[in-house]
């Protein structure tokens, strides 16, 4: 699609000076952030924000270096355009030769509507292909393991609700016995530990205790040092999150919003 790239060494010194003064601009039309580790440097290409059509990354020229041995090395200039071309090629080919992830080099300093349209179209075609493959795999296996992240991203990108596009929630460790349990359960199935006191009470899984349930949710009373006005009072931070009061997952316990 693009013209044959000209490497900097093919240019006259005057042309080289001009090219090395130029920047290049990479547009990214997805929310995916990319890290690219190349011999000439490491680059982060941020994903676009929710309210943006694209993110823009400015690329500057760099100096590459070839080790010639004997402590000799050859430095050579790399134009911003060469870097940008290389980065977009690397990123877009992440899922195989025909893959495309919506990162492209702008002809100017910002992408034109035509460039954006072309990128969206290519991305959509790639996503459709991925969804098609995933549909077939799912039909054949009904196994979440065969569905790739790229395929899930493709379904999401196309706004498709697929049976296979839901990621099964990872299990968490029961803090009492270490068995795997589903997140959010009231009682551990393996050892019977109460993991969510409020929920257990609600569903009659606990013998009714004397007194109302709420005070017990405050947990052990820890005297608050350093603030005499608060000590002894029944002020519990985040008292409204009663559902979490009984269970304190370890640092690895994933805190799952919604």
Binding site for Zn ion (CB under 5 A): 174, 176-177, 179, 188, 190-191, 193
Residue 144 backbone phi and psi in degrees, to 5: -60, -25
Q: Taking the complex as a whole, how short is the minimal distance between the CB of residue 238 and Zn ion, in angstroms?
A: 25
Q: How far apart are CA 254 and CA 23, in angstroms?
A: 42
Q: Taking the complex as a whole, how short is the minimal distance between the CB of residue 119 and Zn ion, in angstroms?
A: 50
Q: Taking the complex as a whole, how short is the minimal distance between the CB of residue 182 and Zn ion, in angstroms?
A: 12
Cα angle 252, 257, 258 (rounded to 5 degrees) comes to: 140
State the CB neighbour count (10 A cutoff) for residue 111.
23
Measured from the CB atom, is 106 or 194 closer to Zn ion? 194
Measured from the CB atom, is 152 or 197 closer to Zn ion? 197
Q: Give first-to-last CA distance, the chain, whole Å.
A: 44
Rg value, the chain, Cα:
28
Q: Taking the complex as a whole, how short is the minimal distance between the CB of residue 243 and Zn ion, in angstroms?
A: 18
Nearest to 196 by CA among 253, 153, 234: 253
Measured from the CB atom, is 117 or 179 closer to Zn ion? 179
Q: Taking the complex as a whole, how short is the minimal distance between the CB of residue 195 and Zn ion, in angstroms?
A: 8
Q: Taking the complex as a whole, how short is the minimal distance between the CB of residue 121 and Zn ion, in angstroms?
A: 52
Are 193 and 187 in contact by the 8 Å Cβ rule? The answer is: yes
Indicate the helix (H) or strand (E) that contains 152: helix 149-157
Measured from the CB atom, is 191 or 235 closer to Zn ion? 191
Q: Residue 16 burial (CB < 10 Å; 0-12/13-18/19+)?
A: middle
Measured from the CB atom, is 90 or 173 closer to Zn ion? 173
Measured from the CB atom, is 87 or 186 closer to Zn ion? 186
Residues paired with 65 in a beta bridge: 75
Residue 11 gets which letter from DSSP?
S
Residue 235 gets which letter from DSSP?
-
Q: Taking the complex as a whole, how short is the minimal distance between the CB of residue 177 and Zn ion, in angstroms?
A: 3
Measured from the CB atom, is 178 or 215 closer to Zn ion? 178
CA dihedral 199, 201, 205, 211 (to 10 degrees): 160
């Amino acid at each position: 699609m693009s013209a044959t790239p000209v490497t900097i060494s093919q240019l006259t010194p005057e042309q080289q000076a001009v090219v090395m003064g130029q920047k290049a601009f990479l547009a990214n039309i997805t929310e995916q952030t990319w890290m690219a580790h190349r011999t000439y440097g490491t680059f982060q290409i941020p994903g676009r924000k929710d309210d943006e059509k694209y993110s823009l990354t400015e690329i500057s020229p760099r100096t590459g270096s070839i080790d010639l041995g004997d402590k000799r090395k050859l430095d050579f200039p790399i134009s911003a355009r060469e870097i940008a071309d290389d980065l977009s090629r690397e990123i877009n080919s992440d899922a195989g030769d025909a893959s495309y992830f919506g990162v492209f080099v702008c002809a100017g300093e910002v992408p034109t509507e035509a460039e954006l349209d072309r990128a969206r179209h290519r991305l959509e075609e790639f996503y459709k292909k991925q969804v098609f493959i995933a549909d077939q795999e799912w039909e054949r296996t009904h196994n979440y393991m065969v569905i790739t992240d790229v395929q899930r991203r493709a379904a999401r990108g196309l706004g498709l609700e697929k049976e296979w596009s839901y990621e099964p929630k990872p299990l968490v460790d029961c803090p009492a016995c270490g068995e795997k349990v589903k997140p959010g359960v009231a009682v551990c199935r393996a050892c019977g530990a109460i993991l969510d006191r409020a929920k257990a009470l609600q569903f009659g899984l606990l013998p009714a205790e004397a007194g109302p349930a709420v005070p017990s949710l405050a947990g052990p009373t820890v005297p608050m040092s350093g603030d005499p006005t608060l000590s002894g009072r029944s002020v519990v931070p985040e008292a409204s999150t009663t559902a979490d009061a009984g269970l304190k997952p370890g640092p690895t316990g994933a805190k799952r919003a919604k």
